Amino acid sequence: MRQLGEQWIENGRMYKAVKGLCERCCVSHLCNLSADCPMVWGLIAIDLGPVNEEGFLGCPFCGEFPTIKEELDENDESIYAVEHECEAVVITTGWNHDKQEVKDAWNRRL
| Digit-coded pLDDT (tens) for 2-52 | 788 888 999 999 988 887 766 555 554 445 555 555 555 567 788 899 999
pTM to 2 decimal places: 0.69
Cα-Cα-Cα-Cα dihedral sign, residues 23, 29, 30, 32: positive
CA–CA separation, 46 vs 90, rounded Å? 26
80-109 confidence digits (pLDDT tens): 998 898 887 787 788 888 998 888 888 885
Q: Which secondary-structure segment (H or E) carries 15?
A: strand 13-19
For 31, 41, 84, 99, the CA distances from 81, given in Å and listed in that order, are: 36, 35, 10, 8
Residue 82: CB atoms within 10 A of its CB come to 23
pLDDT band for 74, please (50, 70, 90 cuts). Answer: very high
pLDDT of residue 50: 94
